[in-house]
């Protein structure tokens, strides 16, 4: 069992007030809050061993390099990659996706097909569209149904020997739907296609095992996992990462440089040009330690309790409609009040200290599907409480009263 009152003490921000009310933070799907241990790690780095890594022989540089590489090993262990050099540290999910999408330019030819799910964040649509423009490959979409789940029968039909890549998120950021990625990966491999899974929304709730998933690429961001912004990972199977060309040229990613020819460094440095977010990488490792100390099973069980409670309480409000009602979903509730614009509701609940996201959540195709301008999205984390959900419900009722 998870002791939420004890956990809340780890997060200094949860003590603050917004507009004179205690903060109720329900925008966890956008970014998670930061526990004191992670803040301390950041302060410790800049106070004691800030230095550039993989270069100097001096003590500070050695210490920083060691800490950074220990973090990479922690990430490897957490995601269960076979090798530490299969973990590329990036600036985040979007950066990771772009490394793969750009790299595939040389591996695709006209008429090849790539498949993407209808539940994607813009960051997992646009890079593939750009890849198609560059290569003449064709983008195919797995459609969604009214519940917000993927139509898997259509997916099976889309697969063919022309399919070279399949991309989907593990969990939809806009609706919270958990996609059946095991099946998606297996069926793609049956036709010889590679698969990239966007784990940005899933890794705060589910600990993935990239080896048992047999996934080719897996991407995620630290800031959704109680880590800092500006750092994330690209996991790739060694053989795939070796096939892809470097994404950016610069320091760190080279082996030998002459004006005639440059040879590239091996993995992971080939994809890590320039000085990385050293402090961020180290703090990412600390954040994973923190979350593992609580335990992902306990986190998932507690967040599911919040989801069930929140769904029940919100549905008691007349005229409230929830979007994304798949049985298989995480602690995200996307909803609207009948005939009321989500921005109006968001503006009023903010005044009551409640942080929710309003808008299209960078997933316009999903909003188009439901023919709505956007939704109000409340996303719960393991440090939230049922009492906070009661505050959300009361603030939505208040907004409804003011706006009807």
What residues make contact with other proteins under the rule CB under 8 A? 19, 340-341, 343-344, 346-348, 350-351, 359, 373, 402-403
Question: What distance lies between CA 90 and its chain's CA centroid?
Answer: 13
Rounded Cα gap, residues 354 and 331, in angstroms:
17
Rounded Cα gap, residues 333 and 346, in angstroms:
14
Nearest to 168 by CA among 131, 193, 195: 195
List, by residue number, the catalytic residues.
Answer: 362
Q: How far is the CB of 361 from other proteins (least distance, A)?
A: 12
- Length of the chain, please? 404
| Between 156 and 343, CB nearer to other proteins | 343
| Between 77 and 351, CB nearer to other proteins | 351
DSSP letters, 172-200, are: -TTT-BBP-HHHHHHHHHHTT-EEEEE-T
Residues 6 or more apart whose Cβ sits within 8 Å of residue 283: 38, 41, 42, 45, 222, 227, 228, 231
| Between 152 and 403, CB nearer to other proteins | 403
Q: Are 167 and 195 in contact (CB under 8 A)?
A: yes
| Between 234 and 348, CB nearer to other proteins | 348
Q: How far is the CB of 157 from other proteins (least distance, A)?
A: 35
Q: Are 170 and 119 in contact (CB under 8 A)?
A: no
DSSP letters, 8-22, are: HTT-GGGG-EETTEE
Q: Are 244 and 265 in contact (CB under 8 A)?
A: no
Q: How far is the CB of 375 from other proteins (least distance, A)?
A: 13
| Between 137 and 340, CB nearer to other proteins | 340
Strand partners for 138: 113
Q: How far is the CB of 24 from other proteins (least distance, A)?
A: 16
Residue 354, number of CB atoms within 10 A of its CB? 27
| Between 162 and 321, CB nearer to other proteins | 321
Q: How far is the CB of 21 from other proteins (least distance, A)?
A: 12
CA distances 305 to 24, 28, 369, 380, 385, Å, are: 17, 16, 29, 10, 10
Question: What distance lies between CA 229 and its chain's CA centroid?
Answer: 12
Q: Phi and psi (nearest 5°) for 6?
A: -70, -45
Q: How far is the CB of 353 from other proteins (least distance, A)?
A: 12
Q: How far is the CB of 335 from other proteins (least distance, A)?
A: 16
Rounded Cα gap, residues 66 and 58, in angstroms:
12
Strand partners for 326: none
Q: How far is the CB of 156 from other proteins (least distance, A)?
A: 38
For Cα atoms 288, 228, 283, give the angle at the middle one, nearest 5 degrees: 50
| Between 243 and 397, CB nearer to other proteins | 397
Residues 6 or more apart whose Cβ sits within 8 Å of residue 141: 115, 116, 117, 118
| Between 107 and 317, CB nearer to other proteins | 317
């Amino acid at each position: 069992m998870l002791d939420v009152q004890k956990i809340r003490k780890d997060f200094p921000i949860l003590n603050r007030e917004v507009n004179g009310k205690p903060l109720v933070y329900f925008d966890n799907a956008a970014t998670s809050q930061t526990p004191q241990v992670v803040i301390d790690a950041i302060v410790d780095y800049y106070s004691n061993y800030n230095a550039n890594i993989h270069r100097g022989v001096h003590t500070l540089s050695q210490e920083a390099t060691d800490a950074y590489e220990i973090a990479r090993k922690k990430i490897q262990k957490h995601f269960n990659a076979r090798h530490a050099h299969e973990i590329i540290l990036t600036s985040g999910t979007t950066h990771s996706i772009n490394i793969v999408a750009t790299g595939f330019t040389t591996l695709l030819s006209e008429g090849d097909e790539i498949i993407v799910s209808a539940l994607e964040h813009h960051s997992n649509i646009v890079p593939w569209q750009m890849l198609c423009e560059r290569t003449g490959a064709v983008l195919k979409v797995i459609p969604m149904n009214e519940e917000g789940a993927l139509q898997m029968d259509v997916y099976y039909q889309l697969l063919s020997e022309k399919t070279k890549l399949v991309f989907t998120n593990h969990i939809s950021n806009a609706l919270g739907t958990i996609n059946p990625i095991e099946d998606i990966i297996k069926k793609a491999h049956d036709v010889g296609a590679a698969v990239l899974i966007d784990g940005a929304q899933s890794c705060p709730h589910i600990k993935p095992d990239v080896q048992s998933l047999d996934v080719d690429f897996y991407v995620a961001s630290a800031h959704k996992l109680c880590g800092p912004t500006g750092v994330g990972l690209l996991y790739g199977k060694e053989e795939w990462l070796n096939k892809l060309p470097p994404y950016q040229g610069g320091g760190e990613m080279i082996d030998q440089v002459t004006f005639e020819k440059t040879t590239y460094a091996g993995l992971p440095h080939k994809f890590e040009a320039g000085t990385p977010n050293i402090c961020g990488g180290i703090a990412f490792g600390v954040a994973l330690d923190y979350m593992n100390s609580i335990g992902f099973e306990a986190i998932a069980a507690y967040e599911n309790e919040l989801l069930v409670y929140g769904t029940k309480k919100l549905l008691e409000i007349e005229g409230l409609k929830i979007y994304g009602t798949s049985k298989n979903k995480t602690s995200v509730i996307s909803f609207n009040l009948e005939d009321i614009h989500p921005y109006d509701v968001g503006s009023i609940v903010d005044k009551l200290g409640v942080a929710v996201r309003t808008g299209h959540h960078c997933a316009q195709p999903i909003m188009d599907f439901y023919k709505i301008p956007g939704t109000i999205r409340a996303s719960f984390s393991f440090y939230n409480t049922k009492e906070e959900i009661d505050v959300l419900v009361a603030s939505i009722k208040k907004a409804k009263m003011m706006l009807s």
